[in-house]
Amino acid sequence: MQTALSKEKIAGRGESLSIYIESPEKQHKLYRRTMAIVIASQVFGGAGLAAGITVGALLAQDMLGTDSYAGVPAALFTLGSAAAALIVGRLSQRLGRRVGLAAGFLTGGLGAAGVVLAAVLNHVALLFVSLLVYGAGTATNLQARYAGTDIAPPTKRAKAISAAMMFTTFGAVAGPNFVNITGSVATSIGAPALSGPFMLATVAYLLAGLVLLIFLRPDPLIVAKAIAEAQQLKDSQDSTKPLHALEAGINKRGIIVGASVMVLTQIVMIAIMTMTPVHMKHHGHGLGEVGLVIGIHVAAMYLPSLLTGYLVDKYGRMPMSYASGVTLLLAGLLAAFAPGDSMVLLILALALLGLGWNFGLISGTAAIVDATSPQIRAKTQGTVDVLIALAGASGGALSGMVVAQSNYSTLSLAGGVLSLLLIPVVLWSRKKPQDGLPKGSK
């Protein structure tokens, strides 16, 4: 059992993988260290993420001179995140989380710098290309949530996901509330005010990448793969534990359900969120008020994560998916019927929108982790995140067109109704309950 595994070395550490295979205590210590490093990177990553969703639509509106394409920035950086999700997932599967995640964040930082340059030069083509590259940071910010689950016990996977997400809050909430400050910095050096948040994103994404590149050693995915390989070898020598073909079908079902939950929540959240700043601007709200609403929305996306993780582990992945659909429906209805000049109702609607997304993302992510082994996990996760990003791109692109042809209320109402599709997806997953799944996946 030790052969090649015991001789393989953890990159950059000189430690044998066998000490993790043989010691649950070492695994636990590595889990805690991994979580600390991922959390540190997520604080910076959250700040980088906030720029695009806060002022991306407004920047495009200014540069293009029309509302019809205000949803294009969200579409572009989510489309860019689709390509990046695939690359980061494949890179992580091949070389480990450290290399994959660091490359994604560093690329996102370069994209943010390109947006700043495009704003200064008033170059629309450069803006579009840079937003695509900036999307790599968005994809990586999401994929970092998987790193803590690689060696987490099955009953604590949702908690590991939620911890990484919650600490994204610190940067993600701070970012929108620095809109005025970063705007002042930008204008002081002769750049457009709306490029300021992207200056912050440049620094934040680069720092997130460097934290992971330098400190995420030993790599949790490489260790998890070694542990899984050792367990498979042990099981293959135990005639009382035959492998059943049915298990592959169960895993596929879990992947389909988890992906569907996350895709639907992403479409609804991106569509409504993208056009909220434009809707507010039309009703006389300033940048500071836009930053406040989006900041609270982002806080609701990430801050409840620890509680959500606990609920997902305790009550199951599917019940929390139901909760996601109901919460998003309430958000859509409130956004649709709230007066445009009511800050209180807009804040409540966007907070519910973020909370519903949080429920869906954590429950869906946990379902994906349950359904995969370390040998294929990062690759599968990257593929699923491509679908999530494409869903977000579609929601972002269509949102501007819907509002231009109709209004914000129609968009919000449609998003709320769309969230109800989560219910039949969950019912399908429970149609033929199977034994052998982790407790929380039922």
DSSP sequence for 224-250: HHHHHHHHHHHHHT-TTS---THHHHH
* Cα–Cα dist 20/166, whole Å: 28
Most confidently modeled range among 56-60, 76-80, 98-102, 193-197: 98-102
Within a domain: 153: yes
pLDDT of residue 432: 56
pTM: 0.76
Q: Is 123 exposed, middle or buried (0-12, 13-18, 19+ CB in 10 A)?
A: middle
* Cα–Cα dist 186/208, whole Å: 22
Within a domain: 242: yes
pLDDT of residue 2: 41
Within a domain: 412: yes
CATH number of the domain that residue 336 is part of: 1.20.1250.20
Q: What is the mean pLDDT of the chain?
A: 83
User: pLDDT confidence of 24, banded at 50, 70, 90?
Assistant: confident
Angle formed by the axes of helices 179-188 and 196-215, to 10°? 110
User: pLDDT confidence of 354, banded at 50, 70, 90?
Assistant: very high
Within a domain: 410: yes
**Model confidence at 279: pLDDT above 90:** no
User: pLDDT confidence of 8, banded at 50, 70, 90?
Assistant: very low
Within a domain: 438: no
Query: Which is more confident, 291 or 30?
Result: 30
Most confidently modeled range among 97-111, 280-294, 336-350: 97-111
**Model confidence at 312: pLDDT above 90:** yes
Within a domain: 342: yes
pLDDT of residue 68: 65
**Model confidence at 244: pLDDT above 60:** no
Within a domain: 440: no
User: pLDDT confidence of 53, banded at 50, 70, 90?
Assistant: low
Does residue 304 have a cis peptide bond before it, meaning omega lies within 30 degrees of 0? Answer: no
- DSSP H helices, 148-245, are 157-166, 168-177, 179-188, 196-215, 220-236
> Domain count of the chain?
1
Closest CA to 104 of 177, 213, 21, 214: 213
> Residue 337's domain spans which residues?
3-432
Of 24-33, 141-150, 173-182, 314-323, the one with minimum mean pLDDT is 173-182
**Could you tell me which residues come within 8 angstroms of residue 52 by beta carbon, excluding any fewer than 6 positions away?**
73, 74, 77, 131, 134, 138, 198, 201
pLDDT of residue 213: 95
Within a domain: 442: no
**Could you tell me which residues come within 8 angstroms of residue 168 by beta carbon, excluding any fewer than 6 positions away?**
42, 43, 45, 46, 49, 141, 302
pLDDT of residue 12: 39
pLDDT of residue 253: 81
Backbone angles phi, psi at 173, to 5 degrees: -80, -35
* Cα 258 to the center of its chain, rounded Å: 14
Helix, strand, coil share of the chain (percent; to 5): 85, 0, 15
